[in-house]
């Protein structure tokens, strides 16, 4: 058997630069972190995980829990391509896997149960004062802005990147794709989920519905992010862009460099805008992890640099009216000039 030091030297020599940096951290890191982050994800987020998690890793005092929902995995699957790649696997400090659930909208099960499982770990570390929640298809281009977000939170219990109170009926809409909580508020929310579970189970509640009910409690100090994303064009012009489709200015975008990659990717296609930078996408197994439309258009553009694929993607956008899609079904790359 090789001596331990020799094995360690060999191991580090065969790691990527990012992974070497991770492996050099102290073994007691979770005991020293001030911030926790729950990264809720599933195999549909595979193209976005690597960039997103590498960005979160730049926060030196943030403990990252990858909360993976194996909702599409089946016993008869013959491959491992439903699980994160090894170089992605090392990026969170730990992972949790919720139990298998079915029925209803899988996001309802996945997000709520993922937080229940992740919270059980976070409760053990009293040093963690703030907890972020982030969906696996959303990224921070400026992760260092996390400390400014905490300053903006101030004495409040929690804040979401996108939220609004309608003046017509006082309805609070809170998007759950990116949020920050104070420690006590986060566990108050988790306890609230448990209070609701016996009534009908997670299948009956969307994450947005659950957090809206919790936020209505009189003892919850909820803060709107100072600047909300607003549509600047189209039928929704002037309305809150809760999915950040346009990628426009907002507190979360200006401070954290926040992007909802799936929403923005699809909006750019529908509105015939240039695509997102290739850096955001992991193109490994692209035939498995992208939609048929993106596989045949956007991914081909990233692989070849041929702008004709983007034009083809615009014309075959799956969100176009059905009659238009049928007329354009036979279009190929050869129908466009270089």
Give tens-digit pLDDT for 55-111. Answer: 999 999 999 999 999 877 777 877 777 889 989 998 999 999 988 877 666 666 788
Asked whether 30 and 126 are in contact (CB, 8 A), the reply is no
Residue with tokens 């990116």: 178
Looking at domain 33-273, its CATH architecture is: Alpha-Beta Complex (3.90)
- Rounded to an integer, the average pLDDT of 266-289 is 95
pLDDT at 1: 47
pTM: 0.88
Structure tokens at 131: 């907890």
Q: What is the DSSP string of 193-217?
A: HHHHHHHH-GGG--HHHHHHHHHTS
Q: Which residues of 99-126 are buried (b: 16+ CB within 10 A; e: fewer)?
A: eebeeeebbbbbbbbbbbbbbebbeeee
Per mean pLDDT, which range of 15-24, 26-35, 214-223, 315-324 is the poorest? Answer: 15-24
Cα gap 230→267, rounded to integer Å: 14
**How much of the chain is in helix, strand and coil states, percent to nearest 5?**
45, 15, 40
Asked whether 274 and 310 are in contact (CB, 8 A), the reply is yes
| Pick from 114, 164, 154: nearest CA to 130 | 154
The pLDDT confidence band at residue 278, using thresholds 50, 70 and 90, is very high
């Amino acid at each position: 058997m090789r001596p331990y030091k020799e094995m360690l030297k060999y191991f580090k020599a065969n790691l990527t630069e990012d992974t070497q940096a991770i492996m050099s951290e102290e073994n007691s890191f979770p005991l020293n972190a001030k911030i926790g982050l729950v990264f809720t994800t599933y195999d549909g987020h595979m193209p976005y995980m690597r960039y997103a998690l590498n960005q979160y890793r730049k926060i030196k005092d943030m403990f990252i829990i990858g909360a993976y929902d194996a909702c599409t995995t089946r016993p008869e699957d013959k491959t491992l391509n439903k699980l994160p790649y090894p170089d992605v696997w090392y990026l969170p400090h730990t992972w949790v896997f919720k139990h298998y659930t079915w029925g209803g909208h899988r996001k309802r099960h996945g997000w709520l149960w993922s937080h229940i499982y992740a919270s059980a770990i976070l409760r053990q570390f009293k040093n963690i004062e703030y907890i972020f929640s982030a969906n696996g298809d959303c990224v921070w281009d400026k992760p260092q802005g996390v400390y400014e977000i905490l300053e903006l939170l101030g004495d409040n219990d929690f804040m979401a990147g996108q939220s609004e109170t309608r003046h017509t009926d006082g309805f609070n809409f809170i998007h759950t794709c990116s949020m920050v909580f104070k420690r006590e508020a986060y566990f108050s929310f988790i306890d609230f989920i448990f209070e609701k579970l016996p009534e009908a189970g997670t299948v009956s509640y969307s994450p947005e519905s659950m957090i809206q009910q919790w936020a209505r409690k009189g003892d919850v100090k909820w803060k709107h992010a100072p600047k909300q994303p607003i549509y600047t064009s189209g039928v929704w012009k002037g309305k809150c862009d809760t999915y950040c489709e346009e990628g426009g200015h907002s507190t979360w975008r200006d401070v954290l460099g926040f992007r909802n990659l799936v929403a923005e990717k699809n909006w750019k296609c529908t509105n015939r805008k240039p695509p997102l930078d290739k850096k955001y996408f992991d193109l490994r197994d692209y035939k498995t992890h992208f939609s048929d439309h993106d596989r045949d258009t956007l991914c081909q553009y990233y692989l070849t640099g041929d702008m004709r694929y983007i034009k083809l993607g615009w014309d075959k956008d799956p969100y176009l009216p059905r009659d238009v899609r049928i007329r354009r079904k036979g279009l190929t790359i050869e129908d466009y000039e270089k």
